[in-house]
Amino acid sequence: MADLLRRVAEQADLAAFRELYQTYGPRVKAYMMRQGADAATAEDLAQETLFTVWRRASLYAEDKGSVATWIFAIARNMRIDRLRREVPWQELPEGRLEQPSDETPPDEAVSEKERQGRVRAALAELPPEQHEVVALSYIDGLSHGEIAARLGLPLGTVKSRMRIAYQRIRAGLEDLK
């Protein structure tokens, strides 16, 4: 996928872009629908997200995350901007990609693909109650309080499940170093 993105960035390669579009467009559309958009709006937002990928392809830095991660950040910002119209400043993390890498320790040995694989494996292995709070945050866009209300749990329980889930994901990434 990173190769496709590089071809889009360097050669404005339409075939490469179409392949990215076919792979990620339907997933971004699914994401937008889960966030509350109707099918037509979700389709528009998916298209806009992929157009942003086209425009910003040269800003993608492989050492900062997989293509899926990068597109997720663009889709998330698009969703906040269009569906909620509230948090323009969340464009920040994605914008940061352009800056020199002062934060990510150089780690040539581990490919981003491997890292993303570890995250997916760790996600798949989460116990159901931890997976649930992760999904409600990332897919349904619910705040801590909204998750607590939805599940009928104390706020502290929701937050501690999220912390533990993150520790597991982090552990999956750290033994790569």
Partner 1 sequence: MTITHHLDDATLMSFAAGALPAALAAVAAAHTDMCPRCRREVAALERLGGAVMADLSPVALERSEPAQAAALPADRRELSLRTGNGEVPGPIAPLVGGGLDAVAWRWLGPGVWDHPLPLTGAGKLRLLKVAPGHGIPEHGHGGAELTLVLRGSFNDETGRYARGDVADLDETVEHQPVVPPGASDCICLIASETRERFHGLITRQWQRVRRF
Site for partner 1 in 126-165 (CB under 8 A): 134-135, 137-145, 155-156, 158-160, 162-163, 165
**170 interacts with partner 1 by CB under 8 A:** yes
Question: Amino acid letter at 109?
Answer: A
Q: At what angle do helices 14-34 and 2-11 cross, to 10 degrees?
A: 120
Whether the CA torsion 108, 60, 71, 22 is positive or negative: it is negative
| The one among 103, 128, 175, 177 contacting partner 1 by CB under 8 A | 103
**39 interacts with partner 1 by CB under 8 A:** yes
**65 interacts with partner 1 by CB under 8 A:** yes
**36 interacts with partner 1 by CB under 8 A:** no
Rounded to 10 degrees, what is the CA torsion of 115, 127, 149, 46? 40
Q: Residue 98 half-sphere exposure, CB side, CA atoms within 13 Å?
A: 8
Give the number of residues in contact with partner 1, rule: CB under 8 A.
87
**11 interacts with partner 1 by CB under 8 A:** no
Residue 105, phi-psi category: left (phi > 0), alpha (psi -120 to 50), beta (remainder): beta
**Spatial separation of the C-alpha atoms in residues 65 and 115, rounded to whole Å:** 8
| The one among 31, 45, 60, 130 contacting partner 1 by CB under 8 A | 31
**72 interacts with partner 1 by CB under 8 A:** yes
| The one among 3, 102, 108, 175 contacting partner 1 by CB under 8 A | 102
